[in-house]
Amino acid sequence: MAPAVFSGINRFCDIVFLMVRMICWFSFCVLLLLVGCAPAFPAGYDSSGSAASEGATGTGVAAIVDAPTPSSTGTRLPSATPTQTLVPTISSTPTQTPTATQTLTPSITPTYSILRGKVNTEQLACRFGPGAMYLFKYSVFQDTVLDIIGRMELSPWILVRAVGGSNACWVNGNYIEIRGDIQTVAPTDPHQVLAWSPYYEALTGVSAERNGDVVTVFWNQLVLRDGDSSEQVPYVVEAWVCQAGEYVFAPVGAYSLAAEIIDEPGCDQPSYGRVLGAEKHGYTQWRVVPWPPASSPVTPTP
């Protein structure tokens, strides 16, 4: 009997203890809820319990003063300022007077002609150069009509060919009946159709000396192989000299190792000369002659 009583008492005590714990836990939760929901101190209330000086009422209750609501200040947009249109100002700028520029007169390129001419002698030698001392090329005969395609300045010799042909050579223009003005024909290099030797070099030992108006030109012999002789004039001195007050082309042929040329004072152009050797295939390259200048005539003093 007794143990059963004690067991019941213990169970009752446990139930009571559990209920007390639940009540305490519930009370604690309610307290926390009340504390969390309590209003904060009103604005202007001192934490010591007395009202702040500003806004305190006579009853001792702090007056709740609404904080001023900031007005919504809009951002001021810049007003559309009209753009000023710039009108260009025309200034009266003085016009610069152009400086007179010297106009160069264009050089006139002469237009040359090809003339026709007829042989007026029975037979006329046509040569490789403008002179009777140059190697013979072929003959043209009386009444043959030729094209005149060039002329040697300061000389009567002209460059001709068969009409429409291409094998040109030099003839003495004094034996050609020229149709037209020979000055309209192009001046031509005397070596235009000259044949050149592929086997021999220019002459050596070229020199010159003057005795008054006579210039003597010297050179060394051109030694030829057997069979290479042209059987014609073996040496030619081409000279541009002053004769009778005129500057002329005066070639001279020679069979020896010297040639004399008349060269007088009185011309503006300086005299000049060159010498060539000949063999049957053509001419050597020329060698320039160191030309001695002419002495100016002494004017007697009154």
Quick check: 59 pLDDT over 70? no
DSSP state of 246: E
Q: What is the pLDDT of residues 86-112, one digit of tens each?
A: 444 444 455 555 555 566 666 678 899
> CA nearest 243: which of 188, 170, 294, 191?
294
pLDDT: is 73 or 286 the higher one? 286
40 vs 169, more confident: 169
Q: Which domains does the chain have, with CATH numbers?
A: 115-184 (2.30.30.40), 207-288 (2.60.40.10)
pLDDT tier for residue 42 given thresholds of 50, 70 and 90: very low
pLDDT at 60 over 50: no
Higher pLDDT among residues 94 and 224, named by residue: 224
User: Is pLDDT above 50 for 57?
Assistant: no
- pLDDT exceeds cutoff 90 at 26: no
For the chain, the farthest-separated pair of C-alpha atoms sits apart, in whole angstroms, at: 197
Instruction: Please state the rounded mean pLDDT for residues 197-222.
Output: 98
Say how many CA atoms lie within 13 Å of 227 toward its Cβ. Answer: 1
Assign residue 255 a region (left: φ > 0; alpha: ψ between -120 and 50; beta: otherwise).
alpha
pLDDT band at 27 (very low <50, low <70, confident <90, very high): confident
Max avg pLDDT among 25-34, 37-46, 67-76: 25-34
Residue 64 CB partners (closer than 8 Å, separation 6+):
42, 43, 44
What are phi and psi for residue 254, nearest 5 degrees?
Answer: -150, 145
126 closest CA partner among 155, 80, 157, 83: 157
> 160 has which bridge partners?
148, 169
Q: What mean pLDDT value characterizes the chain?
A: 81
**Which stretch of 81-85, 219-223, 294-298 has the lowest confidence by average pLDDT?**
81-85
pLDDT at residue number 36: 58
Mean pLDDT of 193-210: 98
Task: Reduce the DSSP state of residue 25 to 3 states and report it.
Answer: helix
233-283 confidence digits (pLDDT tens): 999 999 999 999 999 999 999 999 999 999 999 999 999 999 999 999 999
Q: According to the model, what pLDDT value does residue 223 have?
A: 98
User: Looking at per-residue confidence, does 57 or 263 come out higher?
Assistant: 263
Q: Look at residue 1 and tell me whether its pLDDT is greater than 80.
A: no
pLDDT reading at 221 higher than 50? yes
Confidence band of 117 (pLDDT split at 50, 70, 90): very high
Instruction: Quote the CA–CA distance of 145 and 168 in Å, as a whole number.
Output: 13
The mean pLDDT of 212-222, rounded to a whole number, is: 98
Say which residue, 204 or 43, is predicted with more confidence: 204
Least confident of 22-36, 139-153, 176-190, 231-245: 22-36
The string of pLDDT tens digits covering residues 131-168 is 999 999 999 999 999 999 999 999 999 999 999 999 99
